[in-house]
Structure 1
Amino acid sequence: MKTKLNKPGYNRLVGDKASSLNGSQESAHRIGGREIGIQKRMVLIKNVGSALCRNFLKWVRGIKPVLQFNALGFTVVAFTACSMPESNNTAAKETLAESTPVSTQFEKTEIRAVWVSVLAEGLKSPKEIQQLVETARLANLNTIVAQVHREGAAMFNSTIQPRHASIVKRPGFDPLETLLEEARDTSDGKLPLKVHAWFNSFKIGGQKDYLESTPKPIVLTHPEWHTRNRAGEIQYELEQGHPEVQNRMIAVIEECLKQYDVDGVNLDFVRYFGNDRGYNPLALARFQKETGILGRPEAENMEWSDFRRKQISNFVKRCAISVWTYRPKAILSVDATGWGPAPVESFSDTRPYREALQDWGNWSEKGWVDLVLRMGYKREWVEDQKQEFRDWADYTLELIDRSEGRMVTIGIGGHFNPLADTLEQYREAINRDLGTCLFSYDRPTKEAADSEGSLRGHNSRIWPILGKAIYPDPAKPPKVTWRKHLAFIAGFLKDEAGNPIDGGQIALTNTDYKTKSDGAGFFAFYSLQPGQYQLSVPKNSLDGKQVEASAGNVAWVREN
């Protein structure tokens, strides 16, 4: 009988049990916060941090399996250093990429996802959804990240936001419900797919298609919610430092969670669109009150950047509590920018941190998300970007090691790359045992992006190639395990009149845990050991409140 070999990278990625050489299941050993399977992983060498070790890893990752044979009941794999030759011969690269499958003599558990936008085919009719699901199965993908909220309009039944323009003429059609049914249809041996609801959180544009809609669009009902640049000019993005904006977005997400048994919620555009944003009058007043700094700070002002960065993080933290409250088994993911070079010494040196004000590395390490879908969109045919893709992938491995069970994937920017180069980036991900998310279903390769539709969506050549050369075997999507033994506490801090308290101090008695409420009065404690806790909130009705926090659950603090 053939024995399945363990591939430790997948185990570290999702925290599942490792498969031992005799076929039995054993828990992976934990070493310095990592989960290590039976085989020693080369990431251990990488963490030494020297340039020599980094170069050594790049050589090791070029090793490919070329021969398999059975001996004494074991599956033996011979390896050779056969990294993809550097060549500008696209046809040769494409032929090699198509014809060389990745060997999988083990049961894999990893994310293989694709983003599906409402801007093109995929979600706008039952037929499109059926084709989408069939295509994902053909490619041996296991997760569909479906856009359900864009420009402040919904692709599901909402009483808060207008119906999206692409489906407004189909009044009885519910794209999200239809997708969930198709993805979970296991008749005739079909494998189920996971569905994550993708929300464009703060980017709403001018909403010109919704001016006559019911409900009315935000651009008409709340023009004061828009962000502004330093010159005071209105930008058609919602201000993340405005508490009512966050309340609205949380309400929309919770509306979706209550109605639909989604497998995850995916947050996109949880960032500023440049560090010259955020000058909404209310947000600016909150900053001035908190810091005592008057006037309009420069965009690069450290305190101002920290304040805006905190507003985004607070929203992500609050979304996590909402998802884990209504769908404890669901995954909260964020779409993480990868502008410019990867971190060298600190994530704070990067453009995502400085310009987008998006601290997604910290979100993963702190346990405020389950999954980071990295948007690692780089042009393989541009030398600097090609190297940046690999450097960010290496950083992803390091972040996973520090994230105690949270997951981080690599995003494949198919719209930037010809087919051969897109496949090459997939192989870079596989060589590092990283899960993937492809942007996008409509434009999975540059050929598709450049075409007028004939090579887009389900018509693209890439799908059968993915299912043969890249992912020849199905893989189970990961389950969230890191929260299973931890507890969470959440609530709202209000004054005697019932108004939210912004920046109020809350602590847990006889512990080191303390936090502050956000602009909506929301507060939460994360990754606690289960047990009974007592709140310390001087001069507030919540002071002395006892809270029982159980494993895997969110305990909400209720006022007497």
Structure 2
Amino acid sequence: MTHPTLRRVLFCALLLTGSGLAQETPSSPPPAVPAPLPASTLRGLWIDAFGPGLKTRAQAQRTVDDAVRMGVNTLFVQAVRRGDCLCLNSTYPPVTDPDLEKNFDPLAVMVKLGHARGLRVIAWVSVTGAFNTNAPNTDPRHVFRTHGPDAGAQSWMARRPDGTWQEGRDGWLDVGLPAVQDYVTQGLVSLVRNYAVDGVQLDRIRYPDGDVWGYDLRVLARYRAETGATGTPAVDDPAWADWKRQQVTNLVRRVALEVKAVRSSAWISAATITYLEPPRVGDLVSFRRTRTYWDVLQDWPTWMNEGLLDLNVLMNYKRDPIESQGAWFDGWNSFAQSMSARPDGTRARVAAGSAMYLNAPEVTAAQARRAVAAGLGWVGYSYRTPTAAVYGERETGAQGLETVRRLLTAPGEPLAVPAPWTDAPPTVRGVLGRVTGTPVPGGHRVEAWQGGRLVARAVTDGNGYYGFATLPAGPVEVRVSGQRWADRVPVRGVVRLPDLLLRTAATGAASP
């Protein structure tokens, strides 16, 4: 994306001589007071791709009809399963499944059918999923075939310290590899560019369970180069965990801004982890003791605070009758709500995701009731397995869905009065740029200045990208390594700054 030259000004600031940036120490403005949010009307279903529901035109029509009868207003449709797409027009290869109808584009059809019935359709993407032994993709373009465990220096697999890569039946991509971040971003952008989806949802936007991942040799070499660490970090090394966690956040930032650059009205959502006991409301210290933070390396409160997530759908998979899990369900919901405020005065949206497949219909209805009463949205997992009895193959999917529907649509229940979800995403603008040239350990420090004040800081990722998503509209000056680049944050959309080439003092000044 190009911008008129007159809108840009490039200044050379001489940090090394003590002038310019080095002499300025302004303070950031106080954060805006967030406005209270009305109760969310989001009522959704996850539509997974591991069984019937999306594989033929007839199934797609029935899925949409069932969703309308149930009273939901949003479908989280699995678009990317494990490096392959239930679609025909993206950078991912199509799913190879003998049950998939020939020349059928499930995502396109679900968008068309859903929109015709007033439903929003979110493309649900398994970000780091790459392989499953039960359902391998046979397309030679598939990521597991081009960058799998036997690809040598081209392998992108997350690995344990002993070099093994398989987690159960699955293989995962390592987000610590810059090439993986490019691959994921391009795939997600292609979905938004080629399909009229209402947004994207990031699933498996994390490391695998177990706290022992990230030991690809190139990831380790990058970690040492950026931090100055020596040797191989222990699995419980907090600095190592912090670095890997930052790679996950960097990918969320890149995806969010790249997608918003294509369509500012697209929702950026994530299906997030809520293992075990909840943190205390408003307490980030207690959150950082949870497995969400230290095991799978998700820092979703930061994603919400920085405007990278419009919608956090908690995978709040609890079974009320077991021990304290009902209280855990409510506690995670309350904690997420307490993390929703952002510096620009907006709030991220929160929805509770219920594990319909683990519970009796009465428990699902009770969880949906409590979530909605707290002002949250609600999403059920999943359409294909709507009850524990269906999951355990003790009743049919149609039987289970009908029981759940009757409970959720009874008078006074959350789906009794169907209503559209009409919220607009809270993040509608941003700034995205890239620094190229001479790398520096740990990335380049980037600052955003508005009105003569420092308003945000960032660090470039492994590909040199940086970005900001909560800046007010108006003039902005981006400063990095003694250089200043002036532009304007739009009212809507993402301004894409030109690449900034930085050279060392020996090779000359930086240039855009």
1:237 aligns with 2:195: no
In the alignment, is residue 439 of structure 1 matched against residue 381 of structure 2?
yes
Contact 1:353 1:359 in 2 (8 A): yes
1:516, 1:523 within 8 Å by CA — same for their partners in 2? yes
Match of 1:472 among 408, 413, 416: 416
Q: Which residue in 1 is equivalent to 2:71?
A: 140
Report deviation, 1:206.
4.3
- Which of 114, 122, 129 aligns to 2:60? It is 129
Matches of 1:220 and 1:36, distance apart in 2 = 46
1: CA distance, partners of 2:319 / 2:48: 21
CA separation of 1:557/1:32 partners in 2, compared to 1, >3 Å: closer, same or farther? closer
Deviation at 1:479, TM superposition (A): 2.1
Deviation of residue 422 (structure 1)? 1.4
Aligned match of 1:92: none
Query: Are positions 1:521 and 2:464 aligned together?
Result: yes
Deviations 1:179-236 (A, max 9, x none): 1111121xxxxx4000000000102224675564142443444541001112222232
Residue 427 of structure 2 is aligned with which of 475, 483, 494? 483
Correspondence list, 1:29-178, <5 A: 32-35=33-36, 109-158=40-89, 160-166=91-97, 170-178=101-109
Separation of aligned partners in 2, 1:211 and 1:323:
26
1:201 aligns with 2:127: yes
1:59-89 superposed Cα distances (whole Å, 9 cap, x missing partner): xxxxxxxxxxxxxxxxxxxxxxxxxxxxxxx
Instruction: String of CA shifts for 1:216-259, please: whole Å, max 9, x gaps.
Output: 44344454100111222223210010000111111111111111
**Secondary structure in 2 aligned to 1:267?**
strand
* Aligned with residue 226 of structure 2, among 282, 290, 306: 290
Output the amino acid matched with 2:220: L
Instruction: Please point out which of 423, 436, 440 is paired with 1:494.
Output: 436
Separation in structure 2 between the aligned mates of residue 341 and residue 405 of structure 1, nearest angstrom? 24
Partner of 2:23: none
Residue from 326, 332, 336 that aligns with 2:262: 326
**In 1, Cα distance between the equivalents of 2:192 and 2:423?**
18
2:142 paired with 1:213:
no
Query: Which segment is superposed worse, 391-400 or 163-172?
Result: 163-172
Could you say what secondary structure the match of 2:318 adopts?
coil
What pairs with 1:357-368 in structure 2 (closer than 5 Å)?
357-368=297-308
Which of 317, 328, 334 is the matching residue for 1:394?
334
Q: 1:256 aligns with which of 191, 198, 219?
A: 191
Give the 3-state SS of the residue equivalent to 2:97 in structure 1: helix
Pairwise CA distance, 1:31: 10
Query: One-letter code of the match for 2:65?
Result: E
Aligned twin of 1:343: 279
Two-structure CA RMSD over aligned residues (Å) = 2.5
Question: How far is the alpha carbon of 1:300 from its aligned partner?
Answer: 1.7
Quote the offset at 1:393 in angstroms.
Answer: 2.3
Amino acid at match of 1:310: Q
Letter in 2 for 1:289: A
Equivalent position to 2:484, from 541, 544, 554: 544
Q: Deviations over 1:411-446 (max 9, x none)?
A: 111111111111111121122122111011111111
Q: Is the 1:159–1:215 Cα contact (8 Å) retained in structure 2? A: no
Partner SS state of residue 228, structure 1: coil
| Secondary structure of residue in 2 paired with 1:528 | coil
Q: Residue type matched to 2:128 in 1?
A: F
1:261 positional shift: 1.1
- Work out the CA distance in 2 between the residues paired with 1:124 and 1:267: 22
Please name the residue that 1:378 is paired with. 318
Unaligned runs of 5+ in 1: 1-29, 38-107, 186-190
Superposition TM-score, scaled by structure 1 size: 0.75
Which residue identity does 2:310 align to in structure 1?
D
1:397 aligns to what SS in structure 2? helix
Contact 2:270 2:309 in 1 (8 A): yes
Task: List runs of 5+ in structure 2 lacking aligned partners.
Answer: 1-30, 150-154, 500-511
- Separation of aligned partners in 2, 1:481 and 1:414: 27
- Measure, in 1, the Cα distance between the counterparts of 2:147 and 2:91: 12
Shift of 1:168: 7.4
Cα distance in 2 for partners of 1:207, 1:248 equals 22
Deviations 1:83-139 (A, max 9, x none): xxxxxxxxxxxxxxxxxxxxxxxxx75110111110011111111111111111111
- State the match for 2:6 in structure 1: none
Question: Cα gap change, 1:164/1:312 in structure 2, threshold over 3 Å: closer, same or farther?
Answer: same
Q: How far off is 1:159 after superposition? A: 5.5
Structure 2 match to 1:270:
205
Distance change (3 Å), C-alpha of 1:455 and 1:349: same
Which residue in the other structure is 1:530 paired with? 473
Preserved CA contact (<8 Å) 1:333 1:370: yes
Answer with 435-444 or 509-518: which moved more.
509-518
1:554 and 1:426 map into 2 onto residues whose CA distance is: 35
| Structure 1 position 383, deviation (Å) | 2.1
Relative to structure 2, which stretch is displaced further, 223-232 or 117-126?
A: 223-232
One of 444, 450, 459 as aligned partner of 2:392: 450
- Change beyond 3 A, Cα 1:255–1:457: farther
The answer on whether the counterparts of 1:206 and 1:219 sit within 8 Å (CA) in structure 2 is: no
Deviation of 1:367 after TM superposition, in Å, equals: 1.3
- Distance change (3 Å), C-alpha of 1:419 and 1:481: closer
C-alpha separation in 2, matches of 1:517 and 1:422: 43
Distance 1:400 1:273 in 2: 26
Give the 3-state SS of the residue equivalent to 1:409 in structure 2. Answer: strand
